[in-house]
Amino acid sequence: MLIGFNSEKRNAYVMLQVYRMTRLMVVSNRLPVTTERTAKSYSVRISSGGLVSALLPIINKVGGCWVGAAEYDSDSELEALMNSIAAPQKFQMAPVLLPPGVRHDYYNGFCNEILWPLFHDLQSRCNFEPRYWHAYVEANSCFSETIVSRAAAECLIWVQDYHLMPLGGFLAQHVDRRHLLYFHHIPFPPPDVFEKLPWRRQILDALLTFGLVGFQSGRDRYNFISCLRRFCSRCILKKNGSTLLIENGFGETVVGVFPIGIDYEDFVRTAGSSVVQTDVQTIRKHLSDSHVVVGVDRLDYTKGILERIKAFSVLLDRYPALRGRVVLIQIAVPSRESIRDYRDLQTELLRAVGEVNSRFGGPKWTPIRYLHRHFSRAELVAFYRAADVALITPLKDGMNLVSKEFCASRVQDTGVVILSEFAGAAHELKTGALLVNPYDVEGITNALYTAFEMNPREITRRMRRMRKRVRKHNVFEWCERILNAAGAVSTDSHTFCSGQITQATTPASDSSTNMHLT
């Protein structure tokens, strides 16, 4: 059995110790580091972004190997350098070399011009260029070669996100499907949106080659199942505790909902450090007695930053008394800068921020402080702690870790969260956050005003509820739940030989609990 322990008795940490024995291989599009060529060598730092924030504390505890595309045409020097960075972090890194032409069409093309906008319901931004599909498949084949050459026996291969959906199909030829897990970090679209994808059937078939497929929210799993119902007729669905079991021509796949968390204790520790406390005082001193609102995002059109700035402008219009008494600190970490849409967004944001600042601001007050750069964990936490309100309004988001990081950092149980109802986190934080429609500029304005007027006791009551939830459902609990669910993958599932099924599908025993997806 892959999972052979009593989950009720063991906490997440013990579970991770158990997994030290089974080697873990995390596979994601990129390695968790950003490398930059300097005159003589390379500089390397840990990357920003939700996937890395979540997985790094886990692999740092468990050890293992992280597989991801190299940013450069690798050489032995670069790999040695990356492994020396990883060494104190207890895991190895294995770069995947993608041919330059493939790299562009796979990443900039299929991932960023098709899957990312489509899965965030922004189909008008898609460019369904057939060349991109071929590069996507070829890139996944390159990943598979690296994995097969590096994976130890009994290695648990945990594939992350939409860049690598076809990988299960390649790996299932070499690896027991019980050892093949996939987690989908971004939203999964409803059938009416998904059906636009010319390769929709191939994507669904590929996902069903994994032993486990995990989603962030009930919304995403529901959409996935609805797509299976519409496009794959040969599936049988069974309820299996809190997960679902899908029987298909390839074997069985466990499909579950596992909302991702953060390393809560690490944020609490950082928030209490003297460095952060000094930074908080400095930030507050510069902003005098203003209401401080903070937005923290990867610079991405799905995060609703432009709409947020518009809402802030409407607020200043509607409530002149707030002028000079409120500041929005908008932090946007550079992201996907090789893509034109992202460079255009930066230009648009600078223009929007400039318009608000010149219309309302003056020598003593700048309404919006826009910071377009990477910050360390401690610096970010200082911003989280210095603010009165977090304004988090993605147009759609798989989860949104910033909302959870903000709550964890509020060690004094203060601070209001205004959160998009279309973020996966809305379901978990709805008992404490003010939920808004990110397209509803007036609704956001009203929520901001409500936040400024909120009674301190009400603020504390709401924040305590959210912190309790974020503490309990932290990233280690997330990992434990996924690995536990993976233990439910049938031991007698079917083996593959050159992509062909070599054993017929066993019909489900209890037909009354089955739903045929026809």
Computed on alpha carbons and rounded to an integer, the radius of gyration of the chain in Å comes to: 23
Is 420 in a helix, a strand, or coil? Answer: strand
Residue 8 per-residue DSSP state = T
Among 7, 48, 226, 446, binds ligand ADQ (CB under 6 A): 48
The answer to whether 50 contacts ligand ADQ (rule: CB under 6 A) is yes
**Cα 57–Cα 268–Cα 11 angle in degrees, nearest 5:** 55
The amino acid that residue 262 corresponds to is I
Cα distances from 446 to residues 141, 420, 441, in angstroms, run 50, 14, 9
Within positions 306 to 335, which residues make up the interface with ligand ADQ, using CB under 6 A? 331, 333
Q: Which is nearer to ligand ADQ, 280 or 401 (CB)?
A: 401
Q: Under rule CB under 6 A, how many of the chain's residues touch ligand ADQ?
A: 23
Token pair belonging to 382: 């200082």
Cβ(237)–Cβ(380) below 8 Å: no
Q: Which is nearer to ligand ADQ, 296 or 316 (CB)?
A: 296
Among 49, 57, 63, 324, binds ligand ADQ (CB under 6 A): 49
Is 3 in a helix, a strand, or coil? Answer: coil
Within positions 397 to 456, which residues make up the interface with ligand ADQ, using CB under 6 A? 397-402, 405
Q: Which range binds ligand ADQ by CB under 6 A, 316-324, 346-354, 374-382, 509-517?
A: 374-382
Length of the chain: 518
Q: Which is nearer to ligand ADQ, 237 or 418 (CB)?
A: 418
Q: Which is nearer to ligand ADQ, 53 or 445 (CB)?
A: 53
Least spacing, CB of residue 55 vs ligand ADQ, in Å:
9
The answer to whether 259 contacts ligand ADQ (rule: CB under 6 A) is no
Beta carbons within 10 angstroms of residue 208's beta carbon: 25
In the complex, residue closest to ligand ADQ by CB: 50
Within positions 202 to 221, which residues make up the interface with ligand ADQ, using CB under 6 A? none
Among 51, 193, 225, 349, binds ligand ADQ (CB under 6 A): 51
The answer to whether 185 contacts ligand ADQ (rule: CB under 6 A) is yes
**Cα 213–Cα 33–Cα 187 angle in degrees, nearest 5:** 30
The answer to whether 296 contacts ligand ADQ (rule: CB under 6 A) is yes
Least spacing, CB of residue 332 vs ligand ADQ, in Å:
7
Largest CA distance in the chain: 76
Nearest-CA neighbor of 209 among 244, 251, 242? Answer: 251
Nearest-CA neighbor of 43 among 76, 71, 73, 67? Answer: 71
Least spacing, CB of residue 255 vs ligand ADQ, in Å:
17
The amino acid that residue 73 corresponds to is D
Q: Which range binds ligand ADQ by CB under 6 A, 46-54, 97-105, 197-205, 433-441?
A: 46-54
How many alpha carbons lie under 13 Å from residue 407 in its C-beta half-sphere?
A: 35
The answer to whether 386 contacts ligand ADQ (rule: CB under 6 A) is no
Q: Which is nearer to ligand ADQ, 53 or 209 (CB)?
A: 53
Least spacing, CB of residue 51 vs ligand ADQ, in Å:
5
Is 384 in a helix, a strand, or coil? Answer: helix
Measure the CA–CA gap between 468 and 440, rounded to whole angstroms. 29
Is 400 in a helix, a strand, or coil? Answer: coil
Least spacing, CB of residue 190 vs ligand ADQ, in Å:
17
Token pair belonging to 232: 């794959």
Cβ partners under 8 Å of residue 327, min gap 6: 287, 290, 291, 292, 293, 365, 366, 367, 368, 369
Least spacing, CB of residue 4 vs ligand ADQ, in Å:
28
Residue 505 per-residue DSSP state = P
Q: Which range binds ligand ADQ by CB under 6 A, 57-65, 391-399, 410-418, 449-457?
A: 391-399
Q: Which is nearer to ligand ADQ, 185 or 308 (CB)?
A: 185
The answer to whether 186 contacts ligand ADQ (rule: CB under 6 A) is yes
Q: Which is nearer to ligand ADQ, 319 or 375 (CB)?
A: 375
Site residues (CB under 6 A) for ligand ADQ?
48-51, 53-54, 185-186, 260, 296, 298, 331, 333, 374-375, 380, 397-402, 405
